[in-house]
Amino acid sequence: MIRVAIFEDNKLMRNAYEAICNGTPGLMCCGAFADTDDVSFKIKKTQPDVVLMDIEMPGKDGVSTTPYIIKHFPEVKILIQTVFDNDDKIFAAICAGASGYILKSTTPARMVEAIEQVHDGGSPMTPYIASRVLKLFQQFAPPFKDAEENYALSVREKEILALMTGGHGLPAIAEKIFVSYETVRTHVKRIYKKLHVASASAAVVKAIREKLV
Kindly report, residue by residue over 109-132, the tens digit of the pLDDT. 989 999 998 898 877 777 667 766
The Cα–Cα gap between 69 and 96 comes to: 10
Asked whether the beta carbons of 183 and 149 are under 8 A apart, the reply is: no
pLDDT of 140 reads 56
The Cα–Cα gap between 27 and 84 comes to: 26
Buried b or exposed e, range 124-139, using 16+ CB within 10 angstroms: bbbeebbebbbebbee
Q: Which tens digit of pLDDT belongs to each residue from 68-93?
A: 998 899 899 999 988 766 667 777 77
> Number of H helices and number of E strands within the chain?
11, 5
Residue 154: other Cβ atoms inside 10 A = 12
Would you say residue 11 has pLDDT above 70? yes
Asked whether the beta carbons of 160 and 187 are under 8 A apart, the reply is: yes
Q: Which domains does the chain have, with CATH numbers?
A: 2-125 (3.40.50.2300), 141-209 (1.10.10.10)
105 CB burial (10 A radius; 0-12, 13-18, 19+): exposed
The Cα–Cα gap between 63 and 104 comes to: 16
Cα–Cα–Cα angle for 175, 123, 55, rounded to 5 degrees: 145
